[in-house]
Amino acid sequence: MNPKRCAACKYLRRRCPKDCIFSPYFPPNDPDKFACIHRIYGAGNVSKMLQQLPVQTRAEAVESLSFEAKCRVEDPVYGCVGIISLLQTQIRKTQTLLAKTQAEIAVAQTKHSQHTNL
């Protein structure tokens, strides 16, 4: 048995075996990470997902699940889709502003070149 249980095993109030699927990704000093993921997906589903993934991609999957779960807790209706939508709107506004600024620069350069040629 592992004397320092991972955050998942602490949350689930169980012993943490040496081959615990959760221990590499849920250290004991970050219990909120697992609690949030468990609230949205459930421990059994997360365990199944991790077991189906190659070991080298599990950490990235846990980070993705963590982000998506936190977003879903903060915004139960839209989750991370709300953030993505907001960012896309900001990108469109910024692109419009950039195009406007580039047009203004082109006009200013044209005026400057006309004044120089006189």
Q: Return per-residue pLDDT of the chain as tens, 118 residues.
A: 455 899 999 999 999 999 999 999 999 999 999 999 999 999 999 999 999 999 999 999 999 999 999 999 999 999 999 999 999 999 999 999 999 999 999 999 999 888 877 6
Can you give the pLDDT at residue 4? 82
Closest CA to 47 of 69, 25, 79, 30: 25
Same domain for 28 and 52? yes
Which pLDDT does position 113 carry in this prediction? 86
d(CA 103, CA 118): 23
CA 92 – CA 10 distance, rounded (Å): 45
Are 14 and 34 contained in the same domain? yes
Per the structure, the count of domains in the chain is 2
**6 and 57 belong to one structural domain:** yes
Same domain, 23 and 64: yes
Do 64 and 81 lie in a common domain? Answer: no
Domain span at residue 3 reads: 1-74
State whether 32 and 89 are in the same domain. no
Regarding whether 68 and 102 lie in a shared domain, the answer is no
- Shared-domain flag, residues 81 and 70: no
Q: What is the model's pLDDT at position 16?
A: 93
